[in-house]
Amino acid sequence: MDGGIPSIELVERVCAGERRAIGRMLSRAEAGTAEVRDALELLYRRAGRAHVVGITGVPGSGKSTLVAKLTAAVLGTGRKIGVVAVDPSSPFSGGSILGDRIRMGEVAGHPSVFVRSMATRGALGGLARGTLEAVDILDAAGYDMIFIETVGVGQDEVDVVRAAHTTVVVSAPGLGDDIQAIKAGILEIADVHAVSKGDKPEADKTVSELKSMLGLGLLTAALKRVVPVIKTCSPRNEGVLELLAAIDAHREHLAASGQYEERRQSIRERRMLKAAEQVLHDEFERHRQGRMADLLGELAAGSISPQAAARRLLAHIGMEATR
């Protein structure tokens, strides 16, 4: 244990907003040890007030700079802001404090801002272990808005932002990745579109293309609202307040339309299923050198099918397969 403080005792310190306690709890959640489960359960029950915003888009679209500017804008409204940056490349380092400060600039040191980078390496499906628990921790600690920033446009990123109440997709002019983003299913899940690097000549064209797709109904399946497209330029701080207003307006729309609780329940369901997948994954890894190794040998010999091997493995760890 880090520092020897019991996890349950840390809960009260987290809820009191103690930064060191928050950092320690985040490290324990990321490590995923059994000792922290009860504490995370208590924190989950105390969470539920924060507006969780997922921010994603293709690499090079300027998400990190935009998140830093958005964070400053949120501070200007008197709110506390947490940022969970999912990083698929950095090794586990207990929070990568230096990386956090480089990523966020001056706002990283503000007392009402808490930034945490989380590595995805080795986690199931590419999701950082403890990402959603990190959101719970910051929520219970009293942060009013929490950004989940992802890198890339794959299914992993879709899974992360689907844990958010509001999803912002950042596009940049001239990257040539528009088709890739559409194929990956990213554009379709946007509640708000942001076009970064608005000082580039192609920015207006990108805005027009997005609005055209939205107008044709290509990106708005079953939505009962107009999805805004906001042009931004982070170095000039242009469009940032408009983007924050669009994010806040979406939260108000969810509440007014009754969709907020529906979305929260959908998030709970996805989290339950993801947790079940993680339990299975961990159990399989625990048996990799034992029963699983034997079954893999039988598979290699062709004496058993993958389906039969899976049933035997589940039976070995005390679970029953229905097919």
Domains within the chain, CATH numbers bracketed = 48-256 (3.40.50.300)
| pLDDT at position 308 | 93
| pLDDT at position 124 | 47
Strands 192-195 and 229-231, bridge-based pairing: parallel
Q: How far apart are CA 184 and CA 166, in angstroms?
A: 18
Report DSSP letters for 189-251, one per residue.
G-SEEEE--TTSTTHHHHHHHHHHHHHTTSS-TT--SPPPEEE-BGGGTBSHHHHHHHHHHHH
Give me the mean pLDDT over the 249-273 stretch.
Answer: 91
DSSP 121: T
| pLDDT at position 165 | 95
Q: pLDDT tens across 205-214, in order? A: 889 888 887 7
The phi, psi pair for 95, rounded to 5°, reads 125, -15
Give me the mean pLDDT over the 313-320 stretch.
Answer: 77
Q: pLDDT tens across 83-130, in order? A: 998 876 544 344 444 455 566 777 888 999 999 988 765 554 445 668
Give me the mean pLDDT over the 51-78 stretch.
Answer: 91
Hey, how many other C-beta atoms are within 10 angstroms of the C-beta on 17? 16
Pick 44 or 290 by higher pLDDT: 44
The reported pTM is: 0.84
Pick 270 or 127 by higher pLDDT: 270
Hey, how many other C-beta atoms are within 10 angstroms of the C-beta on 61? 23
Q: pLDDT tens across 25-57, in order? A: 999 988 877 788 899 999 999 999 999 999 988
Q: Pull the structure tokens for residue 41.
A: 């359960």
| pLDDT at position 206 | 86
Strands 81-87 and 113-119, bridge-based pairing: parallel
